[in-house]
Chain A
């Protein structure tokens, strides 16, 4: 070792917000690839069963789909606003925006619940007799529909739990205007959930 520079206390109590966000982004790539594999399955089966996919999609409620799209986009906005609020040192507003995100997320899940239960009531669910009587392409469409929106819904739930914890931490001043990278990273996760929906929506609800 030739030269060496002085170690400041900073090196020991290491904090690196850019590094933390980089780690989060790397994690998001894994999520993108996870759903990417799913989209690949979708692409192959849609390519093989184009007509049946269109017929099957007629059963889906475009209205609910559009509503949920708007809800998720808005919830993305409120998360972004929550970060802007904490940057402006407005703790109260930041919590208000996070609460709206949680509320919107809940609305999304309630809509999803009604959508799924209507399908179940019509006897359309994996392995049901009515579904098995349909042509293979439609069985695949509904299989993919349940798996992909289900997996997405699971991510919404996880996102809600994370955002709730973050909200508590803002309240308790664990996350402060000087140290809010956790809020940013949870926001990134939430935006990713939104991003995936941006693609799921036209692929399932808008193919007639």
Chain B
């Protein structure tokens, strides 16, 4: 594969422009993935700094650096930014965009222009969210769940902020439409459904949730805006409305959204483990099907967020039961990953270490989820730090960890540069320590009765709160350290080979970075996705 530099997609334009416009008007799925990457990373860092400030406020009881209203605003912003701007679009829009077409042997997604539009819609949503902070009325202070009736009564800029979430949902839908159509219509010859890499399966399942669930939050948000503007009464108890119905509608989207966040991460794990174990994945079909099963069952468990809201007892046990069922396909995945490593020839490179960290943190997050899913224990720890710890272990320990795992795995392919392996191994360790220091004390605090979202706390919680704050310094410090060595790698990194890890899925068959339309010739697929007997042939190429 000669003159790769000339054909490198980073230096080519899909339109007549050069320079910045060749990026802003590109229809290349890889460049759009990078546009998303830069914007999402930016908002992630903003969200992380907000989290850091909140932890700093909580280092001691009483007022430390900010007032209670600022604190309310900050935890709302932290939630909105991390969920709608980072973790929901994160893996699908960056790595899905970049690698889904490559992994199925396509030159681009099915609707390249729609793909670009989705990035613009994302940016519009993000800008609306930012604008809402500075308009008179003040930034939103409802918490990211926008619960009625407070979200109707507060005078802060709720309408604009949630409209931003509506717009962001639209972007998510466009991405989902693109991925499903791409998977159905653009697979290379011989790429049957059961030869697709598991990351594609996971992203495909995710895309379905994006399409089927997101509109429900859309209508919910519209109703809140209409309610604020016209006082129609749909959620207002004084006029016969039911606030619990709002909670139903909100969670009908927002619980499946949790699976929008975690499924692609599970897909990445299913890519990384076989590559670094030099062994085909154990139970390929089971993992593929469990993605669909999680997407489907995950759709049916939303009301476990509402066990103390005043639902009927019937609904409570039904949703508790369904919640336990969703643990089954997740367990299938974990056991298959571990079984893949058994008797493999393990090469503990950074991506693999991130995955190890993921399995540990995600298992804690998942198992504490069962505590919350059972009715009796949930009533004790509902709306405490226990919940906060649980979803940070799942979301940040799960998806956040894999965001970095995927970055370490695919960075050489995306940019054609290699980062410093030694530094990145240190980073995994620091991340792991900081993470557990920050969030594990919250399990204990929550169990002891510390409610979430509180500005102040009782003196006996102080030691653990301090540990947690120190953990946040390590964690955020590590994140900036990681960003630092990646920037260094971009500028001064060594050139990456086309297959630094010895992977066998399609992206490792093409040069790093890939050429404009990914493949000189569309390949015909004969191997199963994780058939490592290909490695020898690949070396001869």
Contacts and interface: CB of A to CB of B under 8 A. Distances in A.
Contact of A40 (B211, B239, B241, B249): B249
Interface string B506-519: 00010000000100
A140 B249 contact: no
A37 interface: yes
Contacts of A63: none
Nearest to A27: B177
A98 B214 CA distance: 32
Contact of A33 (B216, B240, B523): B216
Contacts of B234: 41, 45, 140, 143-144, 147
A135 B240 CA distance: 9
Interface in B178-235: 178, 180-181, 184-186, 189, 211-216, 218-220, 222-223, 226, 230-234
Contacts of B313: none
A34 B114 CA distance: 20
A208 interface: no
Contact of B215 (A11, A30, A139): A30
Interface in B157-185: 173, 176-178, 180-181, 184-185
B181 A19 contact: yes
A126 B232 contact: yes
B223 A41 contact: yes
A30 B173 CA distance: 8
Contacts of B252: 37
B177 A126 contact: no
B245 A44 contact: yes
Contacts of A2: 524, 526-527, 537
Contacts of B218: 30, 34, 37
A7 B219 contact: no
A43 B177 CA distance: 29
Contacts of A26: 176-177, 180-181, 211
Contacts of A38: 219
B239 A140 contact: yes
B231 A22 contact: no
Contacts of B110: 16, 19, 23
Interface string B82-114: 000000000000000000000000011011001
Nearest to A132: B239
B262 to A, nearest CB: 21
B212 A33 contact: yes
Contacts of A139: 233, 239-240
Best-buried of B178, B215, B226, B524 by chain A (most CB within 10 Å): B215
Contacts of A126: 230-233
Contacts of B249: 37, 40-41
Contacts of A136: 233, 239-240
B462 interface: no
A36 interface: yes
A1 B520 CA distance: 12
B376 interface: no
B214 A3 contact: no
Given A1-B541, A22-B181, A139-B239, A29 B232 contact: no
Interface string A133-161: 00111011001101100010000000000
Interface string A12-55: 10101011001100110111111111101100110011000000
A34 B108 CA distance: 29
Contacts of A7: 521-522
Interface residues of A, number: 46
Interface residues of B, number: 50
B456 interface: no
A3 B524 CA distance: 6
A5 interface: yes
A75 B17 CA distance: 44
Contacts of B527: 2
A3 B212 contact: no
B521 A4 contact: yes
A4 B522 contact: yes
A46 B108 CA distance: 48
B7 interface: no
B242 interface: yes
A71 B234 CA distance: 30
Contacts of A49: 240
Contacts of A19: 110, 181, 184-186
Contacts of A34: 215-216, 218-219
Contacts of A36: 215-216
Contacts of B231: 126-127
B189 to A, nearest CB: 6
A85 to B, nearest CB: 27
A18 B185 contact: yes
Contact of A22 (B184, B213, B240, B521): B184
B212 to A, nearest CB: 6
Nearest to A32: B215
Contacts of A3: 523-524, 526
Nearest to B253: A37
A145 B234 CA distance: 11
B528 to A, nearest CB: 13
B219 A37 contact: yes
A16 B185 contact: yes
B215 A31 contact: yes
Given A2-B526, A127-B232, A143-B239, 6 more contacts: A23-B111, A35-B219, A36-B216, A38-B219, A126-B233, A137-B240
15 contacts: A4-B522, A5-B524, A16-B110, A18-B185, A22-B184, A26-B176, A26-B181, A33-B213, A37-B216, A41-B245, A45-B242, A132-B239, A139-B233, A140-B240, A143-B239
Closest 4 CB pairs of A and B: A136-B240, A143-B232, A37-B219, A33-B215
